Amino acid sequence: MAEQSTFTEADRTDGVEPDMVDQNAAPASEATGAGIQPMNMIQALNSAIDVKMAEDPNVLSFGEDAGYFGGVFRVTDKLQQKHGLTRSFDAPISECGIVAAAIGMGAYGLRPVVEIQFADYIYPAYDQIVSEAAKMRYRSGGQFTSPITIRSPYGGGIFGGQTHSQSPESLFTHIAGLKVVIPSNPYDAKGLLTAAIEDDDPVVFFEPKRLYNGPFDGWHEKPVSPWKAQDLAQVPTGKYVEPIGKARVMREGNDVTILAYGTMVWVALAGAEHAGVDAEVIDLRTLVPLDIETIEASVKKTGRCVIVHEAPKTSGFGGELSALVQERCFYSLEAPITRVTGWDTPYPHAFEWEYFPGPQRVADALKSVMTGQATGMGR
């Protein structure tokens, strides 16, 4: 849209903001053609939303800077140009309002995909997510649902400090009525986001921002490797769905099971290699619903279990995983279950790598369980 210095009465009534794309100039939505191409996680997520918006006119995307600018991480890039102002737009800085509006839209039959700019900012929306979205189906006796997807970048490793590095997943896994999804690679990111958008109930979709541009394994001194070399970065350009509630075995092994999700999947793989242990690494992919069958089968095979997540240890999701493994696999365990987690402190800025659970800590935990010993707090 051409730059202008005067805001006229015509501008006031045409429904188009001066800094936004004119919807009349936006091309018609078109489904993406079939094929496979290497994508990073940002591109894969963008493709998922784009394909669904082209397929279903009830799908829309909005959030802080998620319209004209395309999101702070560019996940919604060019969606406004492709699909118009009424389907991709910016929202005020009000996380509570963003989610509340999405809940209302969902009750009327739309499928909003909202972006909370950082997971650290999701707390103002917590009441709407917990008290409204998660309860809608139950409160209305099935007359209404809340088919909304709440996207949010989460986790550390980017020197974001205490306000841009948090991992609040356990606050949502505790809430009945919510699904919680955390992908670890571009292929799963697109397939799982597609499934989330098509789900008739609310899905909290956390995106590990340290993985947006490459499979970070925790060895921060080394150069970052790009996604394009990975098999799981070869992403179909058209529509496909990865089922919510199904884990992925990333590495088969016989001696110990590692349960991880998000960035910690790649850290777990690096830790197992560093320790020289025949570990089976399971990417949970979705925390709720949880693929407990895959977990149980693996732990009963290996007899040992190490759980890895970025969030602080106390009341983290690892505690729930540990309890489930203990309940279901008690007679198969040959060593205490061990957790490798963040510390019970706010995420520090100056000591990023002392807080971030790295491959060395995973390797130490693996060696410990192989000798039948438990490790201490957050190690």
Q: Is residue 287 part of a domain?
A: yes
| Residue whose tokens read 């929306």 | 125
- Residue closest to 276 by CA, chosen among 145, 370, 376, 142: 370
Question: Which among 236, 270, 290 is the end of a domain?
Answer: 236
- Find the domain containing 204 and state its range: 31-236
For the segment 181-240, what is each residue's pLDDT rounded down to a tens digit?
999 999 999 999 999 999 999 999 999 999 999 999 999 988 888 999 899 999 999 999
Residues 73 and 197 in one domain: yes
Q: Is residue 11 part of a domain?
A: no
- Residue closest to 233 by CA, chosen among 269, 267, 187, 189: 187
* Residue 220 annotated in active site: no
Q: Is residue 348 part of a domain?
A: yes
Q: Is residue 24 part of a domain?
A: no
Residues 166 and 71 in one domain: yes
User: What is the 3 state secondary structure string of the chain?
Assistant: CCCCCCCCHHHHHCCCCCCCCCHHHCCCCCCCCCCEEECCHHHHHHHHHHHHHHHCCCEEEEECCCCCCCCCCCCCCCHHHHHCCCCEEECCCCHHHHHHHHHHHHHCCCEEEEECCCHHHCHHHHHHHHHHHCCHHHHCCCCCCCCCEEEEEECCCCCCHHHCCCCCCHHHHCCCCCEEECCCCHHHHHHHHHHHHHCCCCEEEEEEHHHCCCCCCCCCCCCCCCHHHCHHHEEECCCCCCCCCCCEEEECCCCEEEEECCHHHHHHHHHHHHHCCCEEEEECCEEECCCHHHHHHHHHHHCCEEEEEEEECCCCHHHHHHHHHHHHHHHHCCCCCEEEEECCCCCCCCCHHHHCCCHHHHHHHHHHHHCCCCCCCCC
Give, for all 379 residues of the chain, the pLDDT tens digit.
343 334 345 544 544 433 333 334 333 444 445 699 999 999 999 999 999 999 999 999 999 999 999 999 999 999 999 999 999 999 999 999 999 999 999 999 999 999 999 999 999 999 999 999 999 999 999 999 999 999 999 998 888 888 888 999 999 999 999 999 999 999 999 999 999 999 999 999 999 999 999 999 999 988 888 999 899 999 999 999 999 999 999 999 999 999 999 999 999 999 999 999 999 999 999 999 999 999 999 999 999 999 999 999 999 999 999 999 999 999 999 999 999 999 999 999 889 999 999 999 999 999 999 997 665 545 4
Residues 183 and 316 in one domain: no
Q: Is residue 12 part of a domain?
A: no
Identify any residues that bridge with 207 across adjacent strands, giving them in sequence order: 153
Residues 171 and 262 in one domain: no
Residues 255 and 232 in one domain: no
Count of domains for the chain: 2
Residues 257 and 228 in one domain: no
Separation between Cα atoms, residue 35 and residue 55, nearest integer Å: 17
Q: Is residue 21 part of a domain?
A: no
Considering Cα of 212, then 217, then 222, then 228, what sign does the dihedral take? negative
- Residue closest to 194 by CA, chosen among 54, 356, 6: 54
Residues 71 and 211 in one domain: yes
Question: Which among 178, 208, 236 is the end of a domain?
Answer: 236
Question: 292-302 vs 317-329: helix axis angle to the nearest 10?
Answer: 60
Residues 266 and 225 in one domain: no
Q: What is the pLDDT of residue 223?
A: 86
Residues 339 and 313 in one domain: yes
Residues 160 and 74 in one domain: yes
- Cβ neighbourhood burial of 336 (10 Å; 0-12, 13-18, 19+): middle
Q: What is the pLDDT of residue 376?
A: 52
Question: Which among 206, 236, 266 is the end of a domain?
Answer: 236
Residues 164 and 306 in one domain: no
Please tell me which residue in 83, 164, 274, 309 is annotated as part of the active site: 164
Residues 85 and 212 in one domain: yes
Q: Is residue 20 part of a domain?
A: no
The CATH number of the domain where 324 resides is what? Answer: 3.40.50.920
Q: What is the pLDDT of residue 374?
A: 62
Q: What is the pLDDT of residue 349?
A: 86
| Residue whose tokens read 């390797």 | 363
Q: Is residue 173 part of a domain?
A: yes
pTM of the model: 0.89
For the segment 134-190, what is each residue's pLDDT rounded down to a tens digit?
999 999 999 999 999 999 999 988 888 888 889 999 999 999 999 999 999 999 999
Q: What is the pLDDT of residue 7?
A: 36
